[in-house]
């Protein structure tokens, strides 16, 4: 992942276990802390997060607001993990991510690296809500995002 310009401070990441626009996992990474629309308490907290989207409404304001929050939102999102170091991404810096997802045992593990140095490692997170699905890229209000060299493999048991 790479943000090719110097503007913006929003979310980049990817989705996996995608079943529909109401049900999927998302790895979401915020550049810096920011309240939505200047409102107090509606904060997007910097750092990497792993969330499960199980939305009763699907695309719209409720889901968009829930994605912005860094906490559980009833009938929309559950936060599975948030980087305790709250390290945000940087402009014009290349990152590689590695996802391990073993749906049969609920294992999720995400690492983000820069120049082979691991910056963030979720460790093993377990959730069996979604048992497989599609993989894709994600951005929320951030321009200039470039993804390259995307690939996936199905590992041995």
Beta-bridge partner residues of 98: 111
**How many Å apart are CA 84 and CA 86, to the nearest integer?**
5
Please state the pTM of the whole predicted model: 0.92
Cβ atoms of 150 and 9 closer than 8 Å = no
**How many Å apart are CA 5 and CA 24, to the nearest integer?**
29
pLDDT of amino acid 32: 86
Cβ atoms of 125 and 50 closer than 8 Å = yes
Please state, for a pLDDT cut of 70, what percent of the chain lies above it: 94
Q: Is pLDDT at 38 greater than 60 in this prediction?
A: no
**How many Å apart are CA 79 and CA 14, to the nearest integer?**
15
75 vs 153, more confident? 75
Q: Is pLDDT at 40 greater than 90 in this prediction?
A: no
For the segment 43-99, what is each residue's pLDDT rounded down to a tens digit? 788 999 999 999 999 999 999 999 988 889 999 999 999 999 999 999 999 999 999
Q: Is pLDDT at 37 greater than 80 in this prediction?
A: no
Domains of the chain: 2-146 (2.60.120.200)
pLDDT of amino acid 106: 95
């Amino acid at each position: 992942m790479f943000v090719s310009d110097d503007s913006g401070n929003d979310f980049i990441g990817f989705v996996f276990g995608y079943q529909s626009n109401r049900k999927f996992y998302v790895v979401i990474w915020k550049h810096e802390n920011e309240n939505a629309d200047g409102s107090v308490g509606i904060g997007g907290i910097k750092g990497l997060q792993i969330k499960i989207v199980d939305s009763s409404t699907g695309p719209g304001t409720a889901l968009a607001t829930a994605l912005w929050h860094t906490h559980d939102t009833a009938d929309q999102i559950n936060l599975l993990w948030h980087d305790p170091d709250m390290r945000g991404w940087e402009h014009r810096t290349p990152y590689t991510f590695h996802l391990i997802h073993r749906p049969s045992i609920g294992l999720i593990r995400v690492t983000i690296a820069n120049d082979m140095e691991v910056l963030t490692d979720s460790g093993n997170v377990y959730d069996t809500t979604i048992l497989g699905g599609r993989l894709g890229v994600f951005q929320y209000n951030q321009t200039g995002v470039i993804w390259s060299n995307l690939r996936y493999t199905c590992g041995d048991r």
